[in-house]
Amino acid sequence: MRVVIISTMAVVIAVDVGCARHPKPASDPEQQRTERLAKRAFGVPQTDGYAYAFATGDCAPNDGPAVSLYLLDARSDSMPPKGRYLRVTIYPDLRVTIYPDYRDRVDSLAHQSFRWQESRGPGVAVLCSEGSCASMNQGQIVFGAVKRGSWLEGQLDLQFTNGIRIRRTFHANWQAKSVVVCG
């Protein structure tokens, strides 16, 4: 009798744990609405891809200096890259310093943090795939170490208008354009 009770309890626990790993979609309309709102507010995490990164000099909309960071699935020399990519363009506040070359601008990013709230911030970000792009709603990028003219690293957490959220670290090689003239 004890063996039957213990065996029955083990089966009930195993089924309960198995069901907990595979949650069923909400059947309650209010629960479905809550899940949709949560996805819209917090994004759907995208954890695969974007293994290759590079940074390059760019221009801000006011013709001031900027730096663009690209994250891609594979190395690409075309601009804009072919295939799926993420581009973050930072317009750091460089009003008081005139840099003779973009490598100096990249150096100024070391250990700096940039935040966007409701699409307003020190630059823009787009997530592009198959000819269409989604703009960033909100996010943050934190730069770590920078080696002048060689690479920069950091982490980003960005949410886009299509509901995708990208959160990852990066190590981007510096890719100099032949000539970047702003203004």
Domain membership flag for residue 181: no
For residue 99, the enclosing domain spans 46-174
Domain membership flag for residue 82: yes
Nearest by Cα to 172 from 63, 57, 64: 57
Question: Are residues 167 and 96 both part of a single domain?
Answer: yes
Q: Which residues of the chain have pLDDT under 50?
A: 4, 6-15, 17-23, 94-100
Cβ partners under 8 Å of residue 133, min gap 6: 126, 127
Question: Are residues 111 and 29 both part of a single domain?
Answer: no
Tell me the pLDDT of the chain averaged across its residues: 75
The pLDDT, as a whole number, for residue 78 is: 76
Q: Could you give phi then psi for residue 155, rounded to 5 degrees?
A: -140, 150
If you ran DSSP here, which 8-state letter would residue 23 be given? P
Domain membership flag for residue 138: yes
Q: What does the pLDDT look like over 18-57, one tens digit per residue?
A: 444 444 555 677 666 555 555 555 555 555 678 889 988 8
Question: Are residues 68 and 126 both part of a single domain?
Answer: yes
The pLDDT, as a whole number, for residue 92 is: 73
Question: Are residues 32 and 79 both part of a single domain?
Answer: no
The pLDDT, as a whole number, for residue 130 is: 80
Question: Are residues 33 and 51 both part of a single domain?
Answer: no
The pLDDT, as a whole number, for residue 28 is: 72
Number of domains in the chain: 2
